[in-house]
Amino acid sequence: ATRNVTAVVTVADDGGSSGRLREEFNVIPPGDLRNCLVALADTEPMMEKLFQYRFSGNSDLAGHSFGNLFITAMTEVTGDIEQALKESSRVLAVKGRVFPATTSKVRLSATMEDGTFVEGESQIPLVHKRIKRVHIFPHHVEAVPSALKAIYEAKVIVLGPGSLYTSVIPNLLVDDIAKAIRESDAVKIYICNVMTQPGETDDYTASMHVKALIEHGGNGIVDYVLVNNKPISQEMQEHYAQEGQYPVLVDENAIESLGVKCFKADIIDDSQMIHHDSQKLAHQVMEIYHTLQQDN
């Protein structure tokens, strides 16, 4: 089944290794693309470690991830980011397909609820203000045709998991991406974050995450939200509280008042930190899909 997975990835990152490569080589930032390639790769653990390896020290390479450099070099060699991802996928034995939402170089900005305006994806969480809306500049950019085709052909469209305003929503701001999702007959599932994100979703409930998706992508952008219902230990909650992160409250009635159905399940790995468990997620997504197929 994983061979039929297509990842459509945001390209507005302007911080860290991705931001530096974006400015120095005039390429779209490769970081999120790299992460998706590695996630879908059927390769040796050493290759995964290599692609995620980040140089340390004080040299010009310090802070760069090897995978980012590889994708940038492949883009320079092939002259095209889509071709670069295709060739990188062959090297990594990627089971699915990875497309950028757009090949245009876009920047993310945000209007805060107090009316202030913040430019740059990396800067938005730093001001610690409530976000009203995020925007891309240029405002109108062309979506990658292969990404649109994959959306229209999909049986299941999964939004997330990831940073709500700086990873998930930016895809919806690219011309025709949100329209394609809304018009798709696929089952549309949003995987809600388990913990709040400082400077981005402070004090957010699950319904507030969903509401933000609808406000940016339009009605019909999501049909179902998958939330975690495994209790988080007091010890783990106290650890995260030191970083200003708290469990996302699941307000099921408020979710359903938005016209979105809520599915609750154990979808986390809390053995060391709180992360979504990829195997549990995959199982629950397919469970939702098959349950809906049987009901229909």
Instruction: Provide the whole-model pTM.
Output: 0.92
SS3 string, 45-77, reads HHHHHHHHCECCCCCCCCCCEHHHHHHHHHHHH
Q: What is the Cα–Cα distance from 96 to 79, expressed in whole angstroms?
A: 22
User: What local confidence, expressed as pLDDT, does residue 296 receive?
Assistant: 66
User: What local confidence, expressed as pLDDT, does residue 4 receive?
Assistant: 73
Instruction: Please check whether residue 249 is in contact with residue 205, taking contact to mean a CB–CB distance below 8 angstroms.
Output: yes
Instruction: Please check whether residue 101 is in contact with residue 11, taking contact to mean a CB–CB distance below 8 angstroms.
Output: yes
User: What local confidence, expressed as pLDDT, does residue 209 receive?
Assistant: 98
- Per-residue pLDDT 10s for the chain (296 aa) are 445 788 999 888 888 888 899 889 988 999 999 999 998 888 778 888 899 999 998 998 999 999 999 999 999 999 999 999 999 998 888 888 999 999 999 999 999 999 999 999 999 999 999 999 999 999 999 999 999 999 999 999 999 999 999 999 999 999 999 999 999 999 999 999 999 999 999 999 999 999 999 999 999 999 999 999 999 999 999 999 999 999 999 999 999 999 999 999 999 999 889 999 999 999 999 999 998 888 76
User: What local confidence, expressed as pLDDT, does residue 1 receive?
Assistant: 45
Q: Phi then psi for 63, rounded to 5 degrees?
A: 90, -20
Instruction: Please check whether residue 176 is in contact with residue 8, taking contact to mean a CB–CB distance below 8 angstroms.
Output: no
User: What local confidence, expressed as pLDDT, does residue 75 receive?
Assistant: 94
Domains and CATH numbers, the chain: 11-100 (no CATH), 145-295 (3.40.50.10680)
Virtual torsion, Cα 241, 245, 248, 254, nearest 10 deg: 110
Residue 64, amino acid: H
Q: Phi then psi for 237, rounded to 5 degrees?
A: -60, -40
Residue 152, amino acid: Y
